[in-house]
Amino acid sequence: MAPLIQAKNVSKHYGDVRAVDDVSFDIEPGRIVGLIGPNGAGKTTLLQAVLGLTKYQGSLSVCGIDPYSDRQALMKSISYVADVAVLPKWITVSQLLDYVDAVHPKFSRADAEAALRQTKVKPNAKVKALSKGMVAQLHLSVIMAIDAQLLILDEPTLGLDILFRKTFYSELLSDYFNEERTIIITTHQVEEIENILTDVMFIDNGRIVLNETLESIGEQYTELMASAEHADAARAFQPISERSVFGKTVFTFAGAPREQLKSLGEVRTPGLADLFVARISKERAA
């Protein structure tokens, strides 16, 4: 199957700042991709390029469409949440559903209404009168009632409480996701989406520093917690990072033999947050 997104040498410069710097990648249909990077890494700029919101150098194809020159066609195949705090204050819930229903051929009003019945959001309420969490529920209910090939969620749960975030991600996986759909998520709370991702991309200084499936991360990366007497032996395997935790040292290895490391201490697959820190600090040191 052809990749859903094909990026070849995509760059975006703001003056001397390279927000996105010669990035190439493919995203296949049916994946859930976490786009992870520190603030100012270029995540949002890259997503804006994918969404046709900004011009770029290089070539980019999304659902077979050039996003910048044919944005309207693209918006029929994809849906996105740039920020959940952007619904207009004056609109009522039913007006919002009327509007999206009229302008979006792939919107299912019934789905959105069903999703909203699970919440406290009333059909005749104005956005102004809703709490921040309810506005987010409303926005996500509308966006997820669009039958899109690609769903892009840029910090969808920013500022929302933990209960909402957990429910949202589990519903995203159980109710929305299927093998024809692709989801790209950016978030600061990596650990919350770790278990739903199929792929992960780390981005720093406008460059992709890691682009792997979760499976291959499990195969390639190993985290070792070793006591002080084994530390030097562990260093011989050339860890990509090390840090101290409770008097022990935690090493992260790329491509090291897990069986041999087992004799040196406790071995497991690193969490994405730790792996991210390890990769970024290595990248920056280089």
Partner 1 sequence: MITTMPMLLRRELWEHRALYAAPFVLAALVVFGFVLSFFTLIFTGSSVNAAVSALELTGAPGGLAGGAALVGVPFLFMYFVLVGVVFFYSVSALSEERKDRSILFWRSLPVTDTETVLSKFLTAILVAPVITIVMVVITHVILLVLASVAIMIGGGNPVELLLGPLPFVQIWVLLAYMLVTASLWFAPVVAWFLICSSFAKNRSVFVWVFVPWLVLIMLEGIVFRKPFVAPMIARRFSDGVPAAFDAPAVGVLPDNIDEEVFFEMLKANDLNILELIAPGKFLMTPGLWTGLIVAAIFLAGAIYFRRLRA
Give the residue with the Cβ less far from partner 1, 126 or 248.
126
- Of the listed pieces 31-39, 99-107, 167-175, 198-206, which binds partner 1 according to CB under 8 A? 99-107
User: Which amino acid would we find at residue 43?
Assistant: K
Told to check if 129 binds partner 1 by CB under 8 A, we report: no
Told to check if 138 binds partner 1 by CB under 8 A, we report: no
Told to check if 135 binds partner 1 by CB under 8 A, we report: no
Spatial separation of the C-alpha atoms in residues 116 and 9, rounded to whole Å: 41
Told to check if 98 binds partner 1 by CB under 8 A, we report: yes
In whole angstroms, the minimum distance from the beta carbon of 105 to partner 1 comes to: 8
- Of the listed pieces 21-29, 65-73, 110-118, 198-206, which binds partner 1 according to CB under 8 A? 65-73
Told to check if 79 binds partner 1 by CB under 8 A, we report: yes
In whole angstroms, the minimum distance from the beta carbon of 46 to partner 1 comes to: 17
Told to check if 153 binds partner 1 by CB under 8 A, we report: no
Told to check if 18 binds partner 1 by CB under 8 A, we report: no
Spatial separation of the C-alpha atoms in residues 135 and 112, rounded to whole Å: 14
> E-assigned strands of 106-220?
150-154, 182-186, 199-204, 207-213
Told to check if 158 binds partner 1 by CB under 8 A, we report: no
Sheet holding 57-62, edge to edge: 17-27, 5-14, 57-62
Of 248, 247, 241, 246, residue with least CA distance to 271: 241
Told to check if 56 binds partner 1 by CB under 8 A, we report: no
Residue from 99, 164, 176, 237 binding partner 1 (CB under 8 A)? 99
User: Which amino acid would we find at residue 144?
Assistant: M
Number of residues in contact with partner 1 under rule CB under 8 A: 30
Spatial separation of the C-alpha atoms in residues 48 and 186, rounded to whole Å: 13
Give the residue with the Cβ less far from partner 1, 82 or 196.
82
Contacts (Cβ under 8 Å, ≥6 apart) of 256: 222, 237, 238, 239
Angle at alpha carbon of residue 234, lines to 251 and 242, rounded to 5°: 25
Burial of 60-81, coded b for 16+ CB within 10 Å and e otherwise, reads bbbbebebbeeeeebbbbbbbb
Told to check if 17 binds partner 1 by CB under 8 A, we report: no
Instruction: Give how far Cα 148 sits from Cα of 70, 106, 162, 176, Å.
Output: 16, 7, 27, 10
End-to-end Cα spacing for the chain: 37
Residue from 82, 173, 214, 233 binding partner 1 (CB under 8 A)? 82
Of 104-123, binders to partner 1 (CB under 8 A) are: 104-105
CA 284 from chain centre, in angstroms, equals 22
Told to check if 66 binds partner 1 by CB under 8 A, we report: no
Look at the block and give the residue holding tokens 């740039």: 82
- Of the listed pieces 37-45, 97-105, 203-211, 277-285, which binds partner 1 according to CB under 8 A? 97-105
Residue from 18, 76, 109, 181 binding partner 1 (CB under 8 A)? 76
Instruction: Identify the burial level of 38 via C-beta atoms within 10 angstroms of its C-beta, where 0-12 means exposed, 13-18 middle and 19 or more buried.
Output: middle
Give the residue with the Cβ less far from partner 1, 78 or 231.
78
Told to check if 124 binds partner 1 by CB under 8 A, we report: no
Binding site residues, partner 1, CB under 8 A: 51, 53, 71-73, 75-76, 79-83, 85-92, 95, 98-100, 102-105, 139, 143
